[in-house]
Amino acid sequence: MATHIVPPPGNAPNITRDARQAYETLKAGGVIIVPTDVGYALLTSTQAGIQRVFAAKGRRPNHNIGVIGTYLQHRQLHVLSESKFEMTRVLTEDMGMIVGLVAKFNARNLHPRLAALDDATLSQITRGDTISIAVPEGQFLRELGRLCDDDPQGMLMFGTSANLTGQGQRFRIEDIELSVRESADLIVNYGLQKWHVYGRGGVNFDVENMQVLRMGAGYEVFRDRMLRWFPHLLEEASVELDTDPEYSGLVFR
C-alpha cells in the first residue's frame, strides 16, 4: 500500500483533521512520520510497529525507544516531587518548549498505561527503573497527544527520529531517506521545522537528578529558564548548568 501524505500538495495544514488521521493510523497499528519542532519523527503504538520502525532505520531489534507523550502522561507515569512537576509544567505547558523528561516510574505498581503493554515493549521504553517521555511543543503533536489521552485504552506513542540510524535529524520530508519514508503508512508534511538551525534533537533532562543528558536544540533557552525560575532546585541537587559551547556566544551571559 502506498504511503498516504497529508495535507495534499498545495493545501495548508488542518491540525484537527491531520491529527485525527494520524491517531486513527496509530490505533490501527500503523507507522507514521510526523513533524516535531526538532525534526521529523517516526511514531507507532505497537510492538509490531516498533519492529517496522527499527527495520526502516537499520536499528537492532532490541534497542530502546522513547515515549512521545503529554504533560499528563508525564504526571501519570513518573514519580517526582510536586516541586519538580511544577517545574516541568512551566517549561513544557506554560512556556511551550519540547523537553525529553527522564525520571523513575513505579515498577512495583505499574500505571494502567504501562501495565497494558507487552513485556517486549515495556522493556524497550524503560531503562532500569526510569522511562523517558518527550513532551512536545508543536500544536500538531499536542493535539495528537490529547487524542491519546482521551483514548479509552490510554494509547501510548513510541517514537524516534525519522532517518537512518546515525544520520542525524531531518527537518524536511524531502530530506528523509526514501526507504524510511516508504516504511510509513502516513506522512504528515508540515514543511521545514522550527529548530532546523541547530541540526539537533531536543533537550533531554534527568529530572530526578537535575542533570542535562543532551544539550539539544534551544538548550540556551532551557538553561536561561532554569536559572531564572528554578535555581533553588538546581542548588538542592548541587548542579550547575553548563553553557552550550556552540551557541553560548549568541546570548547575553
| Interval 52-97: pLDDT, tens | 999 999 998 888 999 999 999 999 999 999 999 999 999 999 999 9
Q: Taking the domain 4-215, which CATH number applies?
A: 3.90.870.10
First-residue to last-residue Cα distance in the chain: 53
pLDDT score at 101: 98
pLDDT score at 1: 60
Distance in angstroms (rounded) separating the CA atoms of residues 120 and 197:
36
pLDDT score at 251: 53
pLDDT score at 98: 95
Positions in the chain short of pLDDT 70: 1, 248-253
> Where are the chain's structural domains?
4-215
Closest CA to 98 of 144, 43, 135, 145: 135
- Whole-structure pTM over 0.85, yes or no? yes
- Cell 527522564 belongs to residue: 102
**Length of the chain (residues):** 253
pLDDT score at 133: 98
Distance in angstroms (rounded) separating the CA atoms of residues 235 and 225:
15
pLDDT score at 89: 98
